[in-house]
Copies of this chain bind each other. A is one copy, B any other.
Amino acid sequence: MSGLQSVINYIKEHDNYLILMHASPDGDTIGTACGLCGIIKRLGKKASVACADDIPAMYSRLVGDAVTCNFEVESIIAADVADVKLLGEYKSYAGKINLCIDHHVSNTGYADITYVDAESAAAAEILYDIAEQLGVKPDKYIAECIYTGISTDTGCFRFSNTTARTHYIAAQMLEAGIDIEEINRRLFETKSKSAIELERLVTNTLEYYCGGRVAVITVLRSMLDKTGASDEDIEGLSAFPRQIEGVIVGITLKESEEGGFKASVRTHPPADASELCRAFGGGGHLRASGCRIKGSEAEVKSALVKKAEELLSRHGL
C-alpha cells in the first residue's frame, strides 16, 4: 500500500489515462472514476473512463462523453475496485493496472501503486484530497461526481460510515453550486416498474405475529418470474418489515431456486438477529442476519416465528 503522495506524483508524471470502474457499477465507482477523469483533464491531460457493464440510466449524465477514448492509453487507474475480479470482463487488465484508489480495507493490492483509505465512507472522498493536492478546485461537474459517490455510499448521509469529514467535504461540494435535490431524487427516489410490481405482490403477503412485534413478508419464485425483478429489487425489500411501527423482528423469506427458503432477519434492540439465524445454521450481524431453511413456506415460517417468539419472551416482550 502506498501513501497519497505516490498517487499525486504518478498523476503529475503521466498522461493518457484509462480509468476503470468495477462491474455492476454504483454511484461511488462511477463518481470516483468520472471525477478523477475531470480532475486529470483540468491538468491539461487526456483521460477517459470504462466499465465492463452498462451504466445505469440515472448516472448517464455524469458519464457523458467521458467514455470516449480518442487517444492511445498509457496509464491505467482502477477506481473503487477492491479486487481485479470485480472488473468483470476487464479483468484482462490484471497486471497492467498502474494505480488503484479505493476505500475497501479488503483491497488485494493488485495495482503497482495502491492507495486505500478505509476511513473514507466513499472512494469519492479520497478524490477531494487528490484534487486539493493537485491544486484543482472542484468545478460543478467534479463536485457532482464527488457528491454522488459520497451520497450513494452513505445512503445520503444516513449510514454509520458517515463521518464529520464526509459532511465537511459535502459542504464544499455544495459550495460549487450543485443541485442536490435533483441529484438525490435521481439516486434514491427512482424505482423500476418491476420493483414496484414486486413490492405490491410482496406487501400483500405481510403477516404479523406476537402482537405485531414480528412481521414476515414472503417473496416467491412465481413473483420474481411474473415481475422480472432483479436481485437489487429484492435486496431492498429486506429492510421493509422492520420499518413498521412496533415491529422488533422483521423477517423476509425468499423462496430458493433449489427449494426451501432464504431468510433475511432485521431486528431492533434488544433482539439479536444473529442469534435467531444461528439457530438455523446461519448468522451475520447483531441487527441484520440471514439463514437458509428447508421445508414448505408454512413450515419455515412457523419455525422462524416460534424461535423469534422465544427470543422476545426472554427479553420480557
Contact = CB atoms under 8 A, between A and B. Distances in A.
B196 A206 contact: yes
What is the oligomeric copy number?
2
A149 to B, nearest CB: 15
B191 A245 contact: yes
A206 B193 CA distance: 11
Interface string A190-214: 1111001001100110101000100
A170 B200 CA distance: 36
Contact of A160 (B168, B181, B239): B181
Interface stretch (A1-9, A133-141, A172-180, A277-285): A172-180
Contacts of A179: 160
Interface residues of A, number: 43
Given A165-B171, A174-B162, A174-B167, A199 B190 contact: no
A284 B167 CA distance: 33
Contacts of A164: 171-172, 174-175
A167 B171 contact: yes
A174 B168 CA distance: 11
B174 A158 contact: no
A199 to B, nearest CB: 7
A193 B212 contact: yes
Main SS at interface, chain A: helix
Interface string A144-157: 00000000000011
B158 A181 contact: yes
Contacts of A239: 189
16 contacts: A157-B184, A158-B181, A160-B180, A163-B174, A164-B171, A164-B175, A166-B171, A167-B167, A167-B170, A171-B171, A190-B245, A191-B244, A196-B203, A196-B244, A200-B200, A200-B203
Interface of A: 57, 156-160, 162-168, 170-172, 174-175, 179-181, 184-185, 188-193, 196, 199-200, 203-204, 206, 208, 212, 239, 242-246
Please give me the 9 A-B residue pairs with the lowest Cβ-Cβ distance, nearest first.
A167-B171, A160-B181, A164-B171, A164-B174, A158-B184, A167-B167, A167-B170, A200-B203, A164-B175
